[in-house]
Amino acid sequence: MTLLDGKKTSEAIQQEIAAEVAEIKASGGKVPHLAAILVGNDGGSVTYVNNKVLACERIGFGSTLIRYEDTISEEELLIKIKELNLNDEIDGFIVQLPLPKHIDTEKVLEAVDPQKDVDGFHPINVGRMVAGLPAYLPATPAGILQLLERYQIETRGKHCVVIGRSNIVGSPMSILMSKCAYPGDATVTLCHRNTVDLPHYTRQADIIIAAVGKPGLITADMVKEGAVVIDVGTTRVPDATKKSGYKLKGDVDFDAVAPKCSFITPVPGGVGPLTIAMLMKNTLRAAKSEVYA
């Protein structure tokens, strides 16, 4: 069994980006700049956005963090998004999800200029991804592709079972794994909460990508020998022994499943760190106008 080290892979990607940013600076070019809008004080969102800001500092990007209370009106938020769309100093920006219930998330995501949509959530970027055109890919699926590629995991002709159909991970992951490319070119089954007899599908899988947010969903009896298991789940579970009062648990029962796997991601330290690395990569592409040339 080989552990898929997302932290190490993320550090390698960020070092590559930092080297390119140093070259841009040396040649007098414009340094990439990422902005983030954070609404409210959700603990997970605050931590995630702060990590993005720290990553920008490490690799030499400019960064702007815009914070609002969760009482902000939808109109006020849309006005700020329009400002960022028109600001030539900002190459890409994200609106951290989830948003308060009184704000229409889809309306907000559609308001972001597709050329600055480094999260890859705008319908235009989603459509371009489906059509196989240059697009900003959602960071988590893009990170999983990097992990598969850098560990040279064979995907062509393999049966890949994706569990979860969110627009952020599951749905785009199923599309990307079926594309005629590497990583990809797999036969894909997309499962979800209404799938009858989930173990029937997972036992056939050469590659399992679990993105549900249900701790311990995938047990040892659901995985065949030699499978590759990618665990996207990160759920906070109470733990009195931790200073934070909680620990992160994945969708996979790691201790029981790992001995059966050829490759598996840990939680934490698997897919999570790659999400930030790929957001940085998208921002660099935006600064270089690589997608919308």
Residues with a catalytic annotation lie at: 52, 96, 119
Q: Tokens 């990439």 appear where?
A: 32
Number of H-type helices and E-type strands within the chain: 10, 11
Cα-to-chain-centroid distance, residue 80: 24
Q: Tokens 């400002």 appear where?
A: 83
Phi, psi of 29 (to 5 degrees): -80, 175
Task: Please say whether the dihedral angle defined by the alpha carbons of residues 14, 15, 19 and 20, taken in this order, is positive or negative.
Answer: negative
Distance CA 138, CA 50 (A): 19
- The residue type of 240 is A
Quote the DSSP letter at residue 98: P
DSSP-derived secondary structure for 28-56: TPPPPEEEEEEES--HHHHHHHHHHHHHH
Question: Residue 281 is encoded by which pair of tokens?
Answer: 């990569």
Beta bridge partners of residue 238, listed in sequence order: 246
Sequence-separated (6 or more) residues with CB below 8 Å from residue 56: 34, 62, 63, 280
Question: Residue 97 is encoded by which pair of tokens?
Answer: 């999800």
Sequence-separated (6 or more) residues with CB below 8 Å from residue 27: none
Which helix (H) or strand (E) covers residue 67, if one does? strand 62-68
Question: Residue 134 is encoded by which pair of tokens?
Answer: 């240059």
